[in-house]
Amino acid sequence: MAEDIKNKIEGLREEIRRHDHLYYVLSSPKLTDQQYDKLYAELKKLEEANPDLITPDSPTQRVSGKPVEGFGNIRHAAAMLSIDNTYNADELRDFDGRVKKALGDAPYKYVVELKIDGLAISLRYEKGLLVQAATRGDGQTGDDVTSNARTIKAIPLSLMDAASAPEILEVRGEIYMPKKSFADLNKHRGETGEPPFANPRNAAAGSLKLLDARVTATRNLAFFAYSIGQASAPLSDSHYKTLNALKEHNLPVNGNTKQAKDIEQVIKICKNWEKKKETLGYQIDGMVVKVDGFSEQDILGTTGRAPKWCISYKFPAEQAETIVESIEVQVGKTGILTPVANLKPVKLAGTTVKRASLHNFDQIKRLDLRELDTVIIEKAGEIIPQVIEVKKKERSLFESKPVEIPTNCPSCDSPTVVTVNKRKKTGADEEIDFTTVWCSNPNCNSILKERIAYFVGRGQMDIENFGPALIDQLVDKGLVKNFADLYSLDLFKIAPLERMAAKSAENIIAALEKSKTQDLWRLITGLGILNVGGQTAEILADEFMSLENLMAASVEKLESIDQVGPIIARSIYDYFRDPENIAIIEQMRKAGVHPTPPVEKRSAVLAGKTIVVTGTLESFTRTEIQQAIKDNGGKTSSSVSKKTDMVVVGANAGSKAEKAHKLGIEIISEEEFSELIASD
Ligand code: IVH
């Protein structure tokens, strides 16, 4: 029995690790979030009941502990060197000239990689287990950031094939923040507190060096491995093959890594990425070119600071100079006033930029930004660039005056309320002021318009045909005073609106009608509860199954939910204690809004299984059985290998069935397959 539980736990861990790898490394998730959460919850429950079976590499052990006072130092077993830079093709050719000369007539190849714009990390695996993570520091000694690095899902806590891995293996690579996570983080910081990060690199470094690993865990950091440091045995005799070996151990290696036969091919690859770097989901600041063979690398040696077998090709920074024509203030759905810079249009990274985010008034003060200033803007992973520098010397003293915090709302002219909070700068003792400017009028039309636009938006209730022009009219004419009023709209109210064809009016009413049974999590998101985005709403919907249950939940109950912290719990609780919110929800219910609770989306009986079908089938066509496998969470493959989990055999099956038999893979008949999928 004890053995059974142990096996069950280990099986679940394997399964979760595999899905983490599929999701975070291969970017091809095979489970819905609910299916994944179910596996995780099952493992957590079993481990809680059997705490002696918890191992440090269990997926439940990524985030642990309390904030630390500071980081310890780690001396790197092998120095973490830096790379010399080049900026054009001729400098790359010069580098190649030096390599050629040092290697005499011996042939050599290059490996060309993306230069990921993050921060270097050294991960130490002993007997296949992650035991230590250190930043580069000065190259000799770095910070011990083990607890923080463990929270990054792309970093395996144990190597895939611990038995075949060298006893000691230090993996070197780059921790980075994907562009999307960076944009979300800065948006959140702009809305709620601290100053924005200037670029994804700073954001990654700031997030990794937080004293509280639980916060690091929320930052969606990612990782690519690009070399090894100390290893008790080499993985191979060349860099390229070593990267492949790291991949076999489930370490994420960038898929755009290429071998090149000579420097001209290297240059072509570099130029090509310079053009298409915007298509990537993460920021790169250049390319890294490495001599492939380890014996060639040894001959070339290092200068002490940087290896002579490696060079970077740096892209020019994505910055531009322009003029701030005006600073406009926008009102958001929470009533917070946010400044935005209207710029003299300028070309930057292939697009024309007309606006820059300023995030909040503290940011303007920090930069001392004024209208008509000449500024440097930088596109750093965000779609909207940021002002990173003000050219104060070019400022005309006659025209320029500091930006004042608005005393009235730009939309409804009500007085504003200014709150100043002291916030501890993340990971440091230094305190900073955080000023929030609010419109004091809860019925401000701009706030209402933003709320309605959010409610009907794609990530929320997903109600079609609700453009800004329609929302403007509905609010301005007083037809909609809250989102429950949307459900009192009818053709008589909508059809007379400007630019409204009869057919469109009908479509709008139909879309509203359809949304009455929209998924529960979408309605929860649409309410716009502070700190509750789509992901949290899904967790809440799964937990409570109805809006009524969620409304009745105590703070303690809310806090007990995995991934719901005290701040989120409090804002949910407070939201549902506000009489106005309760009245709106009641009004929606009366109007027939009955959201659909979550259901098991898809049977997962074949979750994560790779299945080969062979022979002639009776009750399925090939397409049908492939679809059935997919529908039940499995994957099909055309050839049998060690990675195959199951083979379905029909009549006259040949060599594939034989091979499966030899490899000891489970073989089932078509009938058994039908029973299996029906059993779930
Ligand atoms: S190799 C001795 N490969 O760039 C060579 N570095 O400017 C060790 N970086 O400190 C580094 N992508 O943090 C290498 N594909 C890549 C890289 C990469 C980003 C970073 C790394 C290094 C810095 C040097």
What would the pLDDT profile of 88-116 be if each residue is shown by its tens digit? 999 999 999 999 999 998 899 999 999 99
Delimit the domains of the chain by residue range. 2-61, 85-314, 319-419, 445-515, 520-590, 610-678
Compute, in angstroms, the gap from residue 124 CA to the centroid of ligand 1. 17
Kindly report the protein residue whose alpha carbon is nearest to atom 6 of ligand 1.
115
DSSP annotation of 393? G
Compute, in angstroms, the gap from residue 116 CA to the centroid of ligand 1. 7
Which long-range contacts link 498-506 to residues 24+ away (Cβ below 8 Å)?
498/469, 498/473, 499/469, 500/470, 504/465
pLDDT band at 51 (very low <50, low <70, confident <90, very high): very high
Strand 374-378 relative to strand 386-390: parallel, antiparallel, unpaired?
antiparallel
Element (H, E) at 43: helix 33-49
Compute, in angstroms, the gap from residue 131 CA to the centroid of ligand 1. 22
Residue 248 backbone dihedrals phi, psi, to 5 degrees: -60, -25
The residue type found at 226 is Y
Nearest-atom number in ligand 1 for the CA of 307 is 2
Compute, in angstroms, the gap from residue 194 CA to the centroid of ligand 1. 29
State the catalytic residue, choosing from 8, 45, 109, 115: 115
Element (H, E) at 110: strand 110-116
- Assess whether the C-beta atom of 111 lies below 6 angstroms from ligand 1: no
Rounded to whole angstroms, the Cα distance separating 440 from 671 reads: 68
Percentage with pLDDT > 90 across the chain: 60
Q: Cβ contacts of residue 138 below 8 Å, gap of 6+?
A: none
Does residue 543 have a pLDDT over 70?
Answer: yes
Compute, in angstroms, the gap from residue 97 CA to the centroid of ligand 1. 22
Rounded to whole angstroms, the Cα distance separating 400 from 380 reads: 28
DSSP state string for 606-634: TTT-EEEEESB-SS--HHHHHHHHHHTT-
- Assess whether the C-beta atom of 285 lies below 6 angstroms from ligand 1: no
What would the pLDDT profile of 605-633 be if each residue is shown by its tens digit? 887 788 999 888 888 888 788 878 877 87
Q: Cβ contacts of residue 581 below 8 Å, gap of 6+?
A: 527, 575
Residue 658 backbone dihedrals phi, psi, to 5 degrees: -60, -45
Angle at the Cα of 131 (from 130 to 133), degrees rounded to 5? 85
Radius of gyration of the chain (CA): 29
- Assess whether the C-beta atom of 99 lies below 6 angstroms from ligand 1: no
CA distances from 402 to 193, 325, 361, 366 (A): 22, 14, 11, 11
Which long-range contacts link 202-209 to residues 24+ away (Cβ below 8 Å)?
203/177, 204/118, 204/119, 204/175, 204/176, 204/177, 205/118, 205/119, 206/426, 206/427, 207/177, 208/119, 208/121, 208/135, 208/145, 208/148, 208/149, 208/175, 209/71, 209/135, 209/143, 209/145, 209/148, 209/427
Rounded to whole angstroms, the Cα distance separating 224 from 242 reads: 14
DSSP annotation of 399? T
Q: Cβ contacts of residue 303 below 8 Å, gap of 6+?
A: none
The CATH classification number of 445-515 equals: 1.10.150.20
Q: Cβ contacts of residue 296 below 8 Å, gap of 6+?
A: 103, 106, 108, 309
Q: Which of 275, 300, 367 is nearest to 81 (CA)?
A: 300
- Assess whether the C-beta atom of 455 lies below 6 angstroms from ligand 1: no
- Assess whether the C-beta atom of 290 lies below 6 angstroms from ligand 1: no
Kindly report the protein residue whose alpha carbon is nearest to atom 7 of ligand 1.
83
Compute, in angstroms, the gap from residue 115 CA to the centroid of ligand 1. 6
The pLDDT value recorded for residue 215 is 87
Q: Within a 10 A sphere around the Cβ of 339, how many other Cβ atoms?
A: 21
Kindly report the protein residue whose alpha carbon is nearest to atom 13 of ligand 1.
120
Q: Regarding the domain with residue range 610-678, which homologous superfamily does it belong to in the CATH classification?
A: BRCT domain (3.40.50.10190)
Active site residue 516: no
The pLDDT value recorded for residue 395 is 86
What would the pLDDT profile of 413-472 be if each residue is shown by its tens digit? 999 999 988 776 554 566 778 889 999 998 899 999 999 999 999 889 999 888 899 999
Distance in angstroms between the alpha carbons of the first and the last residue of the chain: 25
Rounded to whole angstroms, the Cα distance separating 112 from 110 reads: 6
The pLDDT value recorded for residue 534 is 84
Q: Cβ contacts of residue 428 below 8 Å, gap of 6+?
A: none
- Assess whether the C-beta atom of 174 lies below 6 angstroms from ligand 1: yes
Top-confidence residue, 578 or 426? 578
Mean pLDDT of 67-72: 82
DSSP annotation of 408? B
Q: For the stretch 544-556, what's the b/e string if a residue is b when 16 or more beta carbons lie within 10 angstroms of its beta carbon?
A: beebeebbebeee
The pLDDT value recorded for residue 128 is 92
Strand 319-331 relative to strand 110-116: parallel, antiparallel, unpaired?
unpaired
Nearest-atom number in ligand 1 for the CA of 117 is 19
- Assess whether the C-beta atom of 81 lies below 6 angstroms from ligand 1: yes
Kindly report the protein residue whose alpha carbon is nearest to atom 18 of ligand 1.
115
Mean pLDDT of 514-541: 92
Q: How far is C-alpha 40 from the chain's CA centre? A: 19
Q: 3-class SS at 341?
A: strand
Nearest-atom number in ligand 1 for the CA of 83 is 24
Q: Spelled out in words, what is the top-level CATH class assigned to the domain 2-61?
A: mainly alpha
In Å, the largest CA–CA distance within the chain is: 91
DSSP annotation of 278? G
What would the pLDDT profile of 231-243 be if each residue is shown by its tens digit? 999 899 999 999 9
Q: 3-class SS at 580?
A: helix
Compute, in angstroms, the gap from residue 253 CA to the centroid of ligand 1. 13
Q: Spelled out in words, what is the top-level CATH class assigned to the domain 319-419?
A: mainly beta
- Assess whether the C-beta atom of 120 lies below 6 angstroms from ligand 1: yes
**Helical ranges in 277-410 per DSSP H:** 294-300, 361-367
- Assess whether the C-beta atom of 229 lies below 6 angstroms from ligand 1: no
Compute, in angstroms, the gap from residue 290 CA to the centroid of ligand 1. 10
The pLDDT value recorded for residue 428 is 53
Pocket test for ligand 1, best of 95, 122, 171, 226 (most atoms within 8 A of CB): 226
**Can you point out the beta strands (E) in 267-350?**
284-291, 310-314, 319-331, 337-348
- Identical topology for domains 2-61 and 319-419: no
What would the pLDDT profile of 394-407 be if each residue is shown by its tens digit? 887 777 789 999 99
- Assess whether the C-beta atom of 243 lies below 6 angstroms from ligand 1: no
DSSP state string for 342-363: EEEEEEETTEEEEEEE--SHHH
Q: Which of 29, 216, 199 is nearest to 117 (CA)?
A: 199
The pLDDT value recorded for residue 601 is 43
Kindly report the protein residue whose alpha carbon is nearest to atom 12 of ligand 1.
115
Mean model confidence pLDDT for the chain:
89
Mean pLDDT of 468-494: 94
Three-state secondary structure readout of 148-201: HHHCCCCCCCECCCCCCCCCEEEEEEEEECCHHHHHHHHHHHHHHCCCCCCCHH
Compute, in angstroms, the gap from residue 349 CA to the centroid of ligand 1. 23
Question: What is the third-level CATH fold of 85-314?
Answer: D-amino Acid Aminotransferase; Chain A, domain 1 (3.30.470)
- Assess whether the C-beta atom of 310 lies below 6 angstroms from ligand 1: yes
Cβ 356 vs Cβ 371: under 8 Å: no
When the candidates are 3.30.2130.10, 3.40.50.150, 1.10.150.20, 1.10.565.10, the CATH number that belongs to 520-590 is 1.10.150.20
- Assess whether the C-beta atom of 312 lies below 6 angstroms from ligand 1: yes
- Assess whether the C-beta atom of 289 lies below 6 angstroms from ligand 1: no
Q: Within a 10 A sphere around the Cβ of 112, how many other Cβ atoms?
A: 22
pLDDT band at 380 (very low <50, low <70, confident <90, very high): low
Q: Which tokens in the block code for residue 653?
A: 């099956």
Nearest-atom number in ligand 1 for the CA of 81 is 2
What would the pLDDT profile of 175-221 be if each residue is shown by its tens digit? 999 999 998 898 888 776 677 887 889 899 999 999 888 889 989 99
Q: Which residue has the tokens 């011990």?
A: 144
Residue count (the chain): 680
